[in-house]
Amino acid sequence: MPNVSLADFSREIAGLVAATAPAIAAVHARRHHASSAVHWRDGLFVAASETIETEDGITLTLPSGDTAPAEFVGRDPTTGIAILKSEAPAGAPALKSADPVEAGNLVIAVGRGDGSVLAGYGIVSEAGPAWRSMRGGLIDRRIRLSASLDGRAEGGAAIDARGGFVGLVLFGPRRRALVIPSETVERVAATLAEKGHMPRGYLGAGLHPVHQAGAHGAMVMNLEEGGPAQKAGLLLGDIVTSWDGEDIEGVRDVIRRLGPDSVGKTVALGLLRGGGPHRVEVTIGARPRS
């Protein structure tokens, strides 16, 4: 293994952070502390949805130290992404996507406090295939970090050893750092910028979990008039036991399948009706905006 100068290594890391910092702003949209956001393009910033407590009175602290008002554009709670619009910092880059990372790869998280750049250093502790969040959002790759990060860095950029944009830094359960990969950010941000929201799948049925001997699933407790479930022929008391052949253990399993990519799809629901098996096909609708 070749000799590596710690001083040179340190300078390389600092250089990567400095090159990324012009794309990072601090966000003030919650009462107690700031978070971070990444300049996506044309004055649009990608931020962590959970850190945006208010949709009015949002301000950004730009790399110059100046503050600027930010307009709330939209959010997708299923992937944890929000979009804000403000003036782009002079010379703010649009970060280039990194190559797919693997477990063990070095990752640097770059955020911004009120008057300073924030940096965290760690490795990819897990890299895996696409997965669904508990709210049904499709995340193109699983990326978890082993890193100690300042809370204000949430919504900042995770970059690789070449300075490529790995994705958006979020905190998952128990404040464990994870990354929403760049391809998910690109897909969701483009939809939010155009529509202001992400379409969600919609059954039009109130469900209740069932865990009894011989019956596990989600019971239909009410049906919305003219909704997809009623049109498909579901009845009160039906127990949804499978979705396109995959077992349903409860309401949460149904919710996870009603992500944005489910809208317009026709799925086969396995049911228990009157104690016997039944099957219906339902075309998933788009959830009405409240």
In CATH, the number for domain 201-286 is 2.30.42.10
Higher pLDDT among residues 183 and 29, named by residue: 183
CATH architecture of 1-198: Beta Barrel (2.40)
pLDDT at 143: 97
C-beta of residue 221 within 8 angstroms of C-beta of residue 208: yes
Strand, helix or coil at 65? coil
Taking only the tens place, the pLDDT of each residue in 84-114 is 999 876 667 789 999 999 999 999 999 999 8
C-beta of residue 14 within 8 angstroms of C-beta of residue 20: no
- 129: which DSSP letter? -
How many whole angstroms separate alpha carbon 154 and alpha carbon 135? 20
Residue 268, C-beta contacts closer than 8 angstroms, at least 6 positions apart? 242, 243, 244, 245, 279, 280, 281
Annotated domain spans of the chain: 1-198, 201-286
Residue 59 reports pLDDT greater than 70: yes
3-state secondary structure string, 196-263? CECCCEECCEEEEEEEECCEEEEEEEEECCCCHHHHHCCCCCCEEEEECCEECCCHHHHHHCCCHHHC
Per the listing, tokens 């919650």 go with 30
Give me the phi and psi of 182, to 5 degrees please: -60, -35
Work out the pLDDT band at 1, boundaries 50, 70, 90: very low
The CA R_g of the chain, rounded to the nearest whole Å, is 22
Strand, helix or coil at 290? coil
Taking only the tens place, the pLDDT of each residue in 25-58 is 999 986 667 899 999 998 999 999 999 988 889 9
Average pLDDT (226-248) is: 95
How many whole angstroms separate alpha carbon 227 and alpha carbon 97? 40
Taking only the tens place, the pLDDT of each residue in 143-169 is 999 988 999 999 999 999 999 999 999
List the one residue out of 197, 133, 145 whose CA is nearest residue 171. Answer: 145
